Amino acid sequence: MKKALIVLLILAVAGGLFAQQLSWTGHLGTGVFINLGDDFDDPIAYVDDDDEGVPAFAKLLGAYDAGDWGVNIGFKAAVGDLSGVGDAGVLAAFAAQAYDAHGWLKFADGLLTLRAGLIDPGVWYLGDNWVDDNPGTNLSSGPGVRAEITPMDGLNVGVRLGFPGLIAGVVDDGVGFGLDGKPTKLSDFFKSTVIGFSYDPGAFKLAAAIKLRAEAGVDPYTQGDDSSDAILTAGFGITPMDNLDVLISARIDHLLGSADADPKIWLGQNIDFKLSDQLGVGIELGEVLSDGLKWFHARPFVTFGVSEAVSVGAEIPVNMEDVGNDLGLANLGANLWAKYTIGGGWVKFGYGFQKVSKDYGKGIDQSSDFSGDSLNHGIKIICGFDF
């Protein structure tokens, strides 16, 4: 009897310790977007979650931290709007996938950290503006093995060796790795190596990474322009005053200038200025350069906290695009929104309109199908819950 009580006591203590070391975070979101058309006479309703651009989105991450080792398991699921199938806005697809499934070990009192698996947390990028949010810019994440050295507070230097895919076949000089049954040479496997660093002493933050890419499409986590060339990413953020934040990010595709493509440079600048505890203003800028300026984006905005639960804001997005070596206005719009927050949940109401040019909007979202200049209006209601 006493032995059984001792076993139960040990299990209870172990279970309590396990529960303390295990944490869960997640997000749920959904909403509706009503496209009112040019003259408010042809409304179309879309189910839409503002964060992910899909009708309904869920994300769940479980993390076990034992101090010197740990495991992360994260899943996301979405109900997708399959364009081109039936009427616009039809819920036509469901997808679920792991986005983080890796384990980690620390050595030498945390000086060295090794991670292996499907690694999600980024470490060598800043991730706070449109350049960093672009798919493929976070070179420190993806499937593979990542080694990080932290010789001093705020400094992280390391290398990531990517997994292009499972063994898919045999090539002329031996076993190859690849996707969709298309093996690549073993030497290409090592070309997916990423070298990066980040430094955040508090007064500013700096990050950079470079990837010597293998053949186009080998790494599914490096999206955007396919290239057999290198990619370089960099970011710099500073808070020169307590109420002012400045962030500059850059990404260079085709870094070495491959035979079929010139280097392509993505730039982003963000300025956020708090005029008071309630009032804030700022601007987001973006440029794409490749043998000249190909695209320009500006989004000045203002936010105001009415109370702890209610906030409102407005923004004016502007996009310019180069079509036939002629930079012109692609679209111009304005968005107004109000947000109510309670606990971990929130509801956001918004109205926006967009003036689209018939000559320049070809590469901009929602502007490829029009016969003349158009003015589109829309109403969006979204809700979310974070835990």
pLDDT tens track, the chain, 387 positions: 555 555 444 444 444 444 557 888 888 888 777 777 665 555 555 555 455 555 677 888 899 999 899 999 988 877 664 333 333 444 445 667 777 889 999 999 999 999 998 888 788 988 777 776 666 678 888 888 999 999 999 999 999 987 654 333 333 344 434 444 444 555 555 667 889 999 999 889 999 998 876 444 433 333 444 445 688 889 999 998 889 999 999 998 877 665 556 678 889 999 999 999 999 999 999 998 887 888 899 999 999 999 999 999 999 989 888 866 677 777 888 889 999 999 889 898 888 887 776 554 433 333 333 334 455 678 888 888 888
Same domain, 250 and 130: yes
Nearest of 201, 120, 85, 207 to residue 158 by alpha carbon: 207
**Residue 11 is assigned to a structural domain of this protein:** no
**Residue 280 is assigned to a structural domain of this protein:** yes
Could you list the residue range(s) of the whole structural domain that residue 232 is in?
122-263
**Residue 269 is assigned to a structural domain of this protein:** no
Q: Is the pTM of this model over 0.85?
A: no
CA–CA distance, 231 with 196 (Å, rounded to integer)? 12
**Residue 116 is assigned to a structural domain of this protein:** no
Same domain, 140 and 234: yes
Number of structural domains the chain divides into: 3
Last residue of a domain, one of 263, 289, 308: 263
Last residue of a domain, one of 195, 228, 263: 263
**Residue 12 is assigned to a structural domain of this protein:** no
CA atoms within 13 A on the CB side of 127: 13
Same domain, 243 and 283: no
**Residue 98 is assigned to a structural domain of this protein:** yes
Same domain, 166 and 231: yes
**Residue 4 is assigned to a structural domain of this protein:** no
Structure tokens at 247: 């962030």
Nearest of 198, 275, 261 to residue 234 by alpha carbon: 198
